[in-house]
Chain A
């Protein structure tokens, strides 16, 4: 696993300005831009960021929740364990933490888009079989 490591602060121009910056080059670039501008895809972190977040989810979330998300100091985060919990409430927990427990708020390091992507990974079942 030689995944990139240093998590960029969210909102840096390099990662967030891509959709606007790539306007006039070629048809390919234009297509790329159109894809980025489509609402569904725009909400996703870019590929590099996804790799960083995936490493964070496995290694750092995994430190407390287990590399297989079966729990540790923190509760299990398997698909089954999360089945009855609304997505918004999971996002709120990751964003602000849970006072009185060891779960920290991650909003000092991650933006809304990052957190939503992480929660969706868990809801889809993580780690993937």
Chain B
């Protein structure tokens, strides 16, 4: 360090390091950001919707073969639920992992409470839900699920969703139950159990107003509906026996359910083991139609203006995406974005649709109004795409 210029530079660097963060980032908001899960490499890409660009890659997130993400209400932090039981808090501004805990052996997803203070994680192993402080990731509660009849293990948990009033709701795959956890009185939850909801609930959704919880059933044709305005009324079976008389096809991938299945006063949901999307009136919950599509639907998502429904499919039909007119129920477009389209995500007001093409190694951005592809970004086996706007939507 003999050169005065170098010394000066070093001094400036050290001083800078004391006063600011080591890698100063320009001032910015996070409301236009999202993350893309790269499942094989255990990494996240940080993306920006308006510029359709990737800003950073964050690694060290473990096994992301099944991963989902929720956001803190200030949209600064992403909480990533990984297959290996990892719960990782990622700082979108500093573009790095803030904190990571391995909280179970095997998990499926989670939710953030309506006040932003609690993170609930649904686990397969050990079967149950654990709840963490959103700031520190300290464990607050551990709620084991119902033990199986042979006592070997506890039921696996699916479809963990936040409910208004610092509550969470989820279903038990093996024992056919739904549990409602109420943290409104403190960190010791009050548990309400709904039994005999149906065979093998595989995932669930909460309507965006937070009123109805609907669990999809894998073990029988139908869905289980709970009106959270009236939990005392129990479970109502809807779409009962929708596949009656039809041969059920082998299911190579479980469908997913979330609040985006609601389009105005209609709900569009995947039929399990059939090449059909089922339509219900979302006030009476009566089936109104069944739409023939190109494969077994996985994600059935309404464009935010509810005018179109976008559908992707299970293997071996997963190179296609179909677009349904929500008024006429006609398939108005069949797109072929590329091999293995795993997930789709609209920007919050629906000007863009992002989709992951796993085996094509790219994320594509589409204009859902012109049905044209705008751009694509390279990605390693991309799966889930999550925009930070989810922070302000109940049930996502």
Contacts and interface: CB of A to CB of B under 8 A. Distances in A.
Interface in B211-266: 218-219, 250-254
B124 A72 contact: yes
B316 interface: yes
Interface stretch (B24-32, B321-329, B353-361): B353-361
Nearest to A71: B106
B14 to A, nearest CB: 42
Interface residues of B, number: 34
Nearest to B39: A67
**Interface range on chain A (Cβ under 8 Å from partner):** 20 to 34
A100 B173 CA distance: 12
B66 interface: yes
Nearest to A74: B124
Nearest to A105: B250
Contacts of A97: 250
B6 to A, nearest CB: 44
A128 to B, nearest CB: 14
A105 B250 CA distance: 6
Contact of A63 (B66, B125, B218, B360): B66
B340 A104 contact: no
B252 A67 contact: no
Interface in B348-389: 358-361, 380-381
B166 interface: no
B83 A6 contact: no
A85 B8 CA distance: 68
Given A58-B40, A63-B65, A73-B156, A5 B250 contact: no
A1 B362 CA distance: 10
**Looking at A4, A6, A63, A64, which has the most chain B CB atoms within 10 Å of its CB?**
A63
8 contacts: A2-B361, A3-B359, A59-B40, A63-B65, A67-B39, A67-B63, A72-B65, A73-B108
Given A1-B381, A68-B65, 18 more contacts: A5-B319, A5-B359, A5-B360, A6-B319, A7-B316, A55-B359, A59-B39, A60-B252, A60-B253, A66-B83, A68-B63, A70-B63, A70-B106, A71-B125, A72-B106, A100-B219, A102-B254, A108-B250
Interface of B: 39-40, 63-66, 83-84, 106, 108, 124-125, 156, 173, 200, 202, 218-219, 250-254, 315-316, 319, 339-340, 358-361, 380-381
